[in-house]
Amino acid sequence: MKREFTGKHAAAIIVSGFAIIIAVNLFMATLAVRGFGGVIVENSYVASQEFNDWLDAAEEQKALGWSVEMTRSENGHLLIDTTSVPDGVIVFAVARRPLGQPESKSLGFIEATPGNHVSLEPLDSGRWIVRLKVASPDGETWSIEEHLP
C-alpha cells in the first residue's frame, strides 16, 4: 500500500529542517560565547598609539631577566615561583573574571620559601585573568597577565 504525500508530510519536513538549522545555530552561538574571553582593549585607536610604549616596557622587563610561574593549588591559593628575582620583593595581584561576571579580587602574598610566594586568600574555582606585579626594594617592577582555567 502506497501512502500519499500530503501537506502534513511537507509541513513536518519543513519544520524538521528549520529545527535542525536553529539547533545548530544555537550550538554554534553557545560555543562562540563560551570561547570569548572578553574585551582586550576598550579603544583600539588609543591602544595603537600606546603600542610602542608597551613594546618598550616589555623590553625593559625582559632585560631584568626575571621570570615567574603562576599556578593554583588544590585549595585555590595562587602559588608564585620566581626565578632570578632579588630578595625582598613584594608580590601582589588583581584577579578578575573574563566575561559576564563583575567579580574582582585583590590578592596579597607571603613568601613561603625564598622565591616562592603564596596568596593570602584562595580564588574561587572557574576562569580568572590574573594581573601579577612583582616589585623589588629598589623600585624595579615586573608584571604579567595570565589566564587561569
Q: What is the pLDDT of residues 52-105, one digit of tens each?
A: 888 988 898 888 888 889 999 999 999 999 888 888 889 999 999 887 667 889
> From CA 73, how far away is CA 80, in angstroms rounded?
10
Whole-angstrom Cα distance, residue 61 to residue 141?
8
Considering only the C-alpha atoms of the chain, give the largest distance between any 2 of them, rounded to a whole number of Å. Answer: 93
Is it the case that residue 23 has pLDDT exceeding 80? Answer: yes
Phi, psi of 94, rounded to the nearest 5 degrees: -125, 125
Non-local CB neighbours of 105 within 8 Å, separated by 6+ positions: 94, 95, 96, 121, 123
